[in-house]
Amino acid sequence: MALPEHESGSIRVTGEALKPVLDKAGLKLTDQLIEDFSVLLTGFEATVNSLPDDAAVQPRPDLEKYPRTDIHIPEDNDLGGWATKVTAKCTAPKNNLLEGRTVALKDNVALAGVRCTNGTAMVEWVPKVDATIATRIMDAGATITGKSVTGPVHNPYAKGYSAGGSSSGSGRLVATGSVDLAIGCDQGGSIRIPAASCGIVGLKPTWGLVPYTGILGLDATIDHAGPMAKTVRDCALLLEVIAGPDGWDDRQPPVELGGYQLDFVDDVDAVTALPKNTMLSGLKVGLLSEGFQIPGQDQHVVESVRSAAMKLAELGATVSSVSVPKHLEAPVAWACSIPASSPQGALLGNRHGRKQLDFSDRCELVSQKLTQAQFDALGPGASYMYLVYLWAQEHHGPKIYSKCINLLKAVGDAYDLALKNVDVLITPTLPDPPIRLPEAGYSQGPLNFMGKTLMLLANTSPFNCTGHPALSLPVGFSPAQDDPNVKLPVGMQIIGRKFRDVDCLKVAAAWEKAFDWKTM
């Protein structure tokens, strides 16, 4: 293909350069039109060339105030937990909410000077910015000690079994005590799934409560970042630190979230200070019937969660069954909508249509399509998503995404209607206990990894699409499906009204205070 001609530092677009573009688009223009558009495009190129460097307007960190040292890839990665180690902290924190605490960031969260792999070797990228939540964590007195792996990681309760994903490393590192707290990111369950698998607490906040600025995402409509911790109180504490608008993320209103609280710990403490049988007095809990009816669901998991949910009545809550038939439709719409559109932003860096911080330096590392080497570096989930995207663009166009977005609005409305009659909904987080990690890893091919994905996400992905807060709380153990002698954690999912994350936390904190999940 002929390239635009360069004259005295400027670019002149010729008809010879324009014709291949027209051919690829299936357009035919007269010679006169080609000449006219060539002149106009020459002006466009001159305008592009006149743009100033955007580095000056990016939120570059003050490395004297927020120094980071000892950046390295550890030889001992805690059975897959660590991607990169670092010591990053603030020399003059704004508060002491997290003083003395250590925190791991999922490896799609930008921390300037530290490689950001996003779980793939597709590109080698070291960001120059800090994610908003990374700055807030350091401003609260915590030390960021590394980036956690996204991918196959060993379960902390049984080596050889999955720690869940994709915030796998964050789940394991918290469970093993390698860090006090961690950040996970969730587009279909990726905070709650590893939390359930690893026996910790993980909250996918209300969509827009926590800024996603400086974080590699999948699709802005479903991207969530949130806290992972051993206890509900610590989960509430980390949420308190990272929540609130930052002026960059257009998912957040440009003013304070009027009417919605951004402090959570006091309410958690108030609930747990009450006598056991009054901790949840007046609260209405709905067992979401369809969440216990996932095809092929493990009955040990079902009974464990049902038993745990019924114990909320001992704490003063009213527990009843609630039906939302559209709950079973949501995972299908999620599965169709995401790969049909998301790779534009997630893999190709084309995150148009949003007002947010974009990684212009990373965009230079990818093009309008992946190279063979970039595709080969993807894991099974990302490679599947990219191929579905190519297929859908060729055979369906934008209709799938549009149709799914409309259907998912109706799903969200159905949850809102149910939540008018109850304060929270309950489901199992996962339909099954964690599976055994394949010995051959990704080399066994994508079918081996993707075969059970839709069912795995059946109870988690709907709330990414609707934006409701959802928390996973460990409530017991279940035998592994391939070995009854192996016991693995079970998570109970608590779903609340939008921006009522505190209700999820209060219910979880009361249950955690009253019962010992490890003896259930």
Residue 428: what are its φ and ψ, rounded to 5°?
-65, 145
**What is the set of active-site residues?**
106, 166, 190
Residue 341, both tokens? 């559109």
Looking at CATH, the fold of the domain delimited by 68-519 is given as: Amidase signature (AS) enzymes (3.90.1300)
How far apart CA 107 and CA 116 sit, in angstroms, is 6
CA distance 405 to 18: 36
The residue written with tokens 């795995």 in the block is: 456
DSSP β-bridge partners for residue 426 = 287, 494
pTM (global) more than 0.75: yes
Using alpha carbons, select from 152, 111, 130, 115 the residue that is nearest to residue 365.
115
Beta bridge partners of 202: 228, 472
Name the token pair of 271.
């609930």
* Beta partners for residue 82, in sequence order: 148
H helices present in 342-479, as ranges: 343-346, 360-363, 372-376, 380-395, 399-418, 446-450, 453-456, 461-466
Strand order in the sheet with 102-106: 68-72, 82-88, 143-148, 102-106, 181-186, 224-229, 201-204, 470-480, 483-496, 424-428, 284-288, 318-322
- Distance CA(50)–CA(24), nearest Å, equals 28
Of 228, 187, 176, 162, the C-alpha closest to 441 is 162
Inter-axis angle of helices 265-272 and 501-514, to 10 degrees? Answer: 30
Place of tokens 């991607």: 83
- Round to whole Å and give the CA distance between 59 and 213: 10
Amino acid at 506: K
Tell me whether strands 158-162 and 470-480 are parallel, antiparallel or unpaired: unpaired
pLDDT at 345 (0 to 100):
83
| Two structure tokens written together for 23 | 């051919």
Q: What is the pLDDT of residue 363?
A: 87
Question: CA angle, 232 as apex, 227 and 234 as ends, to 5°?
Answer: 60
Q: From residue 216, how far is each of 308, 343, 359, 473 by CA, in Å?
A: 36, 12, 9, 26
Q: Record the tokens describing residue 469, joined without a space.
A: 């807060």
Looking at the DSSP assignment, which residues form a beta bridge with residue 181?
A: 103, 229
- Per-residue confidence (pLDDT) for residue 381, from 0 to 100: 84
Helix 330-341 to helix 380-395 angle, to the nearest 10 degrees? Answer: 80
Q: What is the pLDDT along the chain (520 residues), one digit of tens a residue?
A: 445 555 545 689 999 999 999 999 999 999 999 999 999 999 999 999 999 999 999 999 999 999 999 999 999 999 999 999 999 999 999 999 999 999 999 999 999 999 999 988 899 999 999 999 999 999 999 999 999 998 789 999 999 999 999 999 999 999 999 999 999 999 999 999 999 999 999 999 999 999 999 999 999 999 999 999 999 999 999 999 999 999 999 988 665 555 566 889 999 999 999 999 999 999 999 999 999 999 999 999 999 999 999 999 999 999 999 999 999 999 999 999 988 778 888 888 887 778 889 898 988 888 788 999 999 998 888 888 889 889 988 889 889 999 999 999 999 999 999 999 999 999 999 999 999 998 766 666 777 767 667 689 999 999 999 999 999 999 999 999 999 999 999 999 999 999 999 999 999 999 999 999 999 9
CB 172 within 8 A of CB 156: yes
Distance (Å, rounded) from C-alpha 128 to C-alpha 114? 9
- Residue 260's closest CA among 209, 222, 213? 209
144 near 138, Cβ under 8 Å? yes
Q: Where are the domains of the chain?
A: 5-51, 68-519
CA 52 to chain centre: 33
Q: Are 95 and 141 in contact (CB under 8 A)?
A: yes
Can you give the length of the chain in residues?
Answer: 520
Which among 280, 298, 301, 302 has a CA at the least distance from the CA of 289?
Answer: 302
Rounded-to-integer distance, Cα 392 and Cα 338, Å: 11
Cis before 50? omega within 30: no
With H, G, I as helix, E, B as strand and everything else as coil, classify residue 411: helix
Amino acid identity of residue 467, one-letter, is: G
Pairwise CA distance, residues 130 & 140, whole Å? 15
387 SS3 class: helix
Q: What H or E segment, with its residue span, contains residue 242?
A: helix 232-242
* Residue (of 293, 321, 335, 273) closest to 462 by Cα position: 335
Q: Which residues pair with 305 in a beta bridge?
A: none
